[in-house]
Amino acid sequence: MAVQSTSPSDVKALRKRKKDSHKGDNGKLLILAGSKDYHGSLILCVLAAMRFCDLVYVHSTDQNLALVRKLKEATPNVIVVEKARLDEFFGKADAYLLGPGWEENKTSERMLARAIASKKPVVLDASALHMLKPKMLEKNVLITPHGGEFRSLFGMRADEKSVKAMAGKYGCTILCKGAADLIASPQKFKTNKTHHEGMTCGGSGDVLAGLAAALAADHNELFAAACAGAYVNGLAGVRLSKKMGAHYAASDLAQELAPAARAAQKRV
């Protein structure tokens, strides 16, 4: 049987917003990311997520929170969560994104375990994958490793067979990033080949993680969020290449996501 590829149909299949919905009905995402050395990861996640769910809550190091407050001035969708109120917003969120640029320490490990135990959708990327043990994986978890992170986590090379096997063994959803993304849940598998070579720029993975997490917060199943997210992220790169060649940054990619999603919806 031929392997299915992502397409505009994956974008079309995303949950539709109701005309009578209110603020928050279309997803509340809590992002825990960023550190003193990797401040940009959090910003890129926020830029990617804020147009695809209603509310984005962010918590990071003190240094990063100062940067995020500037974003708060530009959009009402960003709410900075101080440490004293983190418990409150943990309960409010519909989904979580943990890991991009994150500090690897005991506090982060506890947050990681807490998010998974919540049974709400959890997207794990970058540093969260370094702290994750496979036995912690559950059906409410989407991981977004590149090939090296997949090998470190599971002790094997990432290919169609191994990605399917690990999704089945641990009951999770996997979006393994590469020249062709490999996307698996215990029951489903697709590849995403919509890419452009300019997407090797630093931060493109943070953009993808933010987008997929926002789609999960907007009450889409994790496999659907992973497929649509990978396709839209890649299409944004293709669209940018027509204007800028290969010379664009991850921040450009984040800004192109909404137009790319709209274009995909019209192509179905």
CB 44 within 8 A of CB 203: yes
Residue 79 has what pLDDT?
Answer: 87
Alpha carbons 40 and 30: distance in angstroms, whole number: 17
Q: Is residue 74 classed exposed, middle or buried when 0-12, 13-18 and 19+ CB atoms within 10 A define those classes?
A: exposed
Q: How far is CA 34 from CA 46, 60, 234, 264, in A?
A: 11, 6, 24, 31
pTM comes to 0.95
Closest CA to 6 of 182, 245, 197, 201: 182
Residue 71 has what pLDDT?
Answer: 63
Residue 74 has what pLDDT?
Answer: 56
192 sits in which H/E element: strand 189-192
Q: What is the DSSP string of 230-257?
A: HHHHHHHHHHHHHHHTT---HHHHHHHH
Structure token digits, residue 31: 């992002």
Alpha carbons 115 and 94: distance in angstroms, whole number: 11
- Give the long-range contacts of residues 176-180, CB within 8 A, separation 24 or more: 176/144, 176/145, 176/146, 176/147, 176/150, 177/144, 177/145, 177/146, 177/147, 177/205, 177/208, 178/146, 178/147
Alpha carbons 40 and 186: distance in angstroms, whole number: 33
Residue 252 has what pLDDT?
Answer: 95
List the chain residues with pLDDT less than 70. Answer: 1, 65, 67-68, 70-77, 268
Structure token digits, residue 192: 């995403």
CB 44 within 8 A of CB 204: no
Residue 39 has what pLDDT?
Answer: 77
Residue 142 has what pLDDT?
Answer: 98
Residue 113 has what pLDDT?
Answer: 97
Residue type for position 182 = L
| Domains in the chain, CATH or no CATH each | 24-267 (3.40.1190.20)
